[in-house]
Structure 1
Amino acid sequence: MLELVDVCKRYPINHGRGERVILDHVNLRVERGEKWGILGRNGAGKSTMIRIISGSDRPHSGRVIKDMSVSWPLAFGDAFQGSLT
């Protein structure tokens, strides 16, 4: 199982005078054997969420629970939409 519980991530902007919320209390549960894709517009937080799941980045708050390995995509699906990456 892979579970994100109330995960939040933000980045500083304007030389530290503000912040941009990238992930805002994200909850997700993926059971063993399930396959998921992450879709969204540019800047929606897809890469940030993948980095947090992989452990290469940490959330500001919330938890990531993993008791299985995670495989990353190796190919594109059948459709492409220019506004999504």
Structure 2
Amino acid sequence: MTPEMERLLERMQTGWRPRRDEIDMRIRQRTLFDWSFAPSFSRPDAVLIGRPESRYGVIRTDVVLWIDEHLEWALCVDNFWWLS
């Protein structure tokens, strides 16, 4: 995890709700459509699967670090995901 993601995670843990323009530009933001939770077979952590914004097919995120209580966004090891 990058230092920028560590700081973002710390802010989320305080109850801060991110907006697109408030996330460090070094953290990639993507949108995941038609998503659901999926087990991580190598570890007891959860991951997300869904359809990315500009591709066909299904992708799988890396481990979920933090997810919004309203399921609107998630910080994963690989990216920050807006959930749609």
Q: TM range, normalised to the smaller chain?
A: under 0.3
Greater helix share, 1 or 2?
2
TM-score (norm 1): 0.27
- Highest RCO, 1 vs 2 (Cα 8 Å, sep ≥ 6): 1
